[in-house]
Amino acid sequence: MELSEAVANRRSIRKYKKNPIPDALVSEILNSGMAAPSAGNLQSRHFYVIRDAAFKKNLAAAALDQTFIAEASVVMVVCTDHKIRAEYGDRGEELYAIMDCAASIQNMLLTAHSLGLGACWVGAYDEKAVTKILNTPDRFRPVAIIPLGYPAESPKPPSKVAVDDACDFL
């Protein structure tokens, strides 16, 4: 798929068909996430890739009962890794690593769309509950939950602010 088409037509998808996503597509999505830039190329991020039904159900509960998460074929949880502190301190952990994760996620959302899949960027959840469910090492902080599946809805494009409101030209 053309990049411009993927950028323009990707939507947040919260309803999924039952079909499982083949491993080859999950790999392609993950590889696109790992290809995103990162501060100092430290790649201070970690990806949990979850097919297990019990984990998905518990994550949906930790995400304020957003039950659609449990219906997804695959759920990713993307974490910052505080190893970045050694190089960049607070700014590394509180800015760079978060942006590095988001760059990975945006690549993955575009790639998922290009493969005929749908995904949703979920930010509202209890972080401590998620770390407990996944039994993450202390150095990881979960910064997004991304359910992925074959789309069972076609949402309209959301409204966007005008260029003149979003931008200043100097």
Q: Please identify which residue in 57, 61, 85, 102 interacts with a copy of itself, judged by CB under 8 A.
A: 102
CB 104 within 8 A of CB 81: no
- 65 is a site residue for a copy of itself (CB under 8 A): no
Q: Please identify which residue in 13, 21, 25, 30 interacts with a copy of itself, judged by CB under 8 A.
A: 30
Structure tokens at 151: 């789309």
Neighbours of 29 (CB within 10 A): 27
Residue type, 164: D
Beta bridge partners of 19: none
The beta-carbon contacts of 50-54 under 8 Å, at least 24 apart in sequence, are 50/74, 50/75, 50/76, 50/77, 51/20
Beta bridge partners of 119: 12, 148
Nearest-approach distance from CB 118 to a copy of itself, in angstroms: 12
Judged by CB under 8 A, the stretch of 13-21, 28-36, 61-69, 147-155 that binds a copy of itself is 28-36
- 24 is a site residue for a copy of itself (CB under 8 A): no
Taking residues 123 to 142 in sequence order and writing x for each that binds a copy of itself by CB under 8 A, - otherwise, the string is: x----------x--------
Nearest-approach distance from CB 152 to a copy of itself, in angstroms: 19
CB 72 within 8 A of CB 148: yes
- 152 is a site residue for a copy of itself (CB under 8 A): no
Nearest-approach distance from CB 136 to a copy of itself, in angstroms: 9
CB 149 within 8 A of CB 74: yes
Give the relative orientation of helices 23-34 and 97-114 as an angle to the nearest 10 degrees: 140
* Chain residues that interact with a copy of itself, rule: CB under 8 A: 1-4, 6-8, 10, 12, 27-28, 30-32, 34-37, 39, 41, 43, 45-52, 55, 91, 94-96, 98-103, 105-107, 109-111, 114, 121, 123, 134, 143-144, 158-161, 163, 166-170
